[in-house]
Amino acid sequence: MSHSCRFASGAGIVGLSTAFSLQQRGVQVTVVDRIGPAAGASWGNAGWLSPAFTIPLPEPALLKQGPRALLSPSSPVALAPSADPAVARFMAAFALNCTPHKWASSMRTYATLNAHIYDSFERQIAAGVRGELHAYDMTVGFASLHDATGILDELARVSAAGQQIDVTLLDPRSAREYEPHLTENVALALRLRGQRYLNPGAYVQALADAVIAGGGELRTGIDVTEVRRDGARARVIGTGIDELTDAAVLCSGAWLPRLASAHGVRIPLFAGRGYSCSVPIDTPLQGATYFPAARAAITPRPDGADGRPRIRVAGIMEFADPDKPLNPKRIRVTNDAVRPLLRGIDWSGIDEQWVGSRPLSADGLPLIGGTATPGVYVGGGHGMWGLTLGPLTGELLAEQITTGRTPALTAGLDPLR
Q: Rounded distance, CA 367 to CA 364, Å? A: 10
Q: Which of 41-50, 69-78, 137-146, 247-256 has the lowest mean pLDDT?
A: 69-78
Q: Which helix (H) or strand (E) holds 187?
A: none
* Residue 345, in any domain of the structure: yes
Instruction: Summarize pLDDT for 116-159 with one digit per residue, the tens.
Output: 999 999 999 999 999 999 999 999 999 999 999 989 999 999 99
Q: How many domains does the chain have?
A: 1
Q: Which of 125-129, 304-308, 314-318, 386-390 has the lowest mean pLDDT?
A: 314-318
Give me the pLDDT at residue 305, please: 87
* Residue 99, in any domain of the structure: yes
Crossing angle of the two packed helices 117-126 and 386-403, in degrees rounded to 10: 70
CB-count exposure of residue 187 (10 Å: 0-12, 13-18, 19+): middle
Q: Rounded distance, CA 2 to CA 215, Å? A: 14
Looking only at the bridges linking them, the beta strands covering 48-49 and 247-250 are unpaired
* Residue 401, in any domain of the structure: yes
* Residue 23, in any domain of the structure: yes
Q: What is the mean pLDDT of residues 395-413?
A: 97
Give me the pLDDT at residue 139, please: 96
Q: Which of 56-65, 80-89, 375-384 has the lowest mean pLDDT?
A: 80-89
* Residue 417, in any domain of the structure: no
Q: Roughly how many angstroms between the first and final C-alpha of the chain, as a whole number?
A: 30
* Residue 117, in any domain of the structure: yes
Would you place residue 76 in the very low, low, confident or very high pLDDT band (cuts 50, 70, 90)? Answer: low
Cβ atoms of 120 and 358 within 8 Å: the answer is no
Closest to 413 measured CA to CA, from 2, 112, 19, 160: 112
Alpha helices in 142-296 (DSSP H): 145-160, 172-178, 200-213, 256-260
Higher pLDDT pick, 242 / 80? 242
Instruction: Summarize pLDDT for 6-33 with one digit per residue, the tens.
Output: 765 689 999 999 999 999 999 999 999 9
Q: What is the mean pLDDT of residues 350-361?
A: 92
Cβ atoms of 248 and 258 within 8 Å: the answer is no
Q: Rounded distance, CA 127 to CA 371, Å? A: 29
* Residue 415, in any domain of the structure: no
* Residue 278, in any domain of the structure: yes
| CATH at residue 10 | 3.50.50.60
Instruction: Summarize pLDDT for 88-101 with one digit per residue, the tens.
Output: 888 889 999 999 99
- 0.75 surpassed by pTM: yes
Domain that holds residue 210: 4-410
Would you place residue 1 in the very low, low, confident or very high pLDDT band (cuts 50, 70, 90)? Answer: very low
